[in-house]
Amino acid sequence: MKKVKLYKMGYARFYTIVLLIGLIVNTVSAQKIKLEEKRLTPVQTSMSMTRINGKRAVSVIKSPKVLADDEATYVRINDLDFKDGMIEVKVLSRLLPDAPAHARGFIGLAFRINEDNSRFESIYVRPTNSIANDQLRRNRTVQYFSYPNFKFTDSRATAPGQYESYAPIALNQWIKLKIEVKGQTAQLFIDDAKEPNLIVNDLRMGPDKTGAIGLFVDIGTEGFFRDLKVTNK
């Protein structure tokens, strides 16, 4: 009799564990996104499929008609909604031959983009700042902004240094970016760093927005993107 009860208890516990594992699997789904033209929509940018350093990648350049900084200048990933989870991508940036003096090799990600591209969150990097001889510029290697009402000029005016940080990166090299988003918090990890290179605890669009993901560049930059992976939670 005791053996039967123990057996039933063991089976019930096993069944509970299986259910919990199933719930975890169903709530966390990692997806490798194949970057091909039919899956991509340029927004105030031009794009092309290319190979660089032996790797297949998407090349993205900001439209010269867009003169302002921190605008909706990215390639949007079609049919992909993102709220909370993780975005991983490898990026490489070069300065264009006609890049202006204030070009920095701007490259990064936009996320939670709304349907008409009028609102989104973004984190990007400025590779040239990382090796500048000016410490203030170095401190501005990584940048968070929220479009349209919280660009880098706004954050510097209201909270200097809070939405920027340093990271050891450079032009013409592959950089792995990983952004973890949960509610109103986003953390950026560069090149598999164990600790975040930037923490944003107050995403300006709030904790509940859902939207698309974009491959972001800014002025004077040719940006290359590959190995995009998205984990929704």
How many angstroms separate the first and last alpha carbons of the chain? 44
Nearest-angstrom CA–CA distance, 223 and 96: 10
Identify the helix (H) or strand (E) that includes residue 113: strand 107-113
What letter represents residue 89's amino acid? Answer: V
In three-state form (DSSP H/G/I as H, E/B as E, the rest C), the secondary structure along 39-65 is HEEEECEEEEEEEECCEEEEEEEECCC
Could you read off the pLDDT of 32-42 as tens digits, one per residue? 999 999 999 99
The model's pTM is 0.88
How do residues 45-88 score in pLDDT, each as one tens digit?
999 999 998 999 999 999 999 999 999 999 999 999 999 999 99
Task: Report whether 89 contacts 226 (CB < 8 A).
Answer: yes
CA separation for the pair 212, 80 (Å, rounded): 6
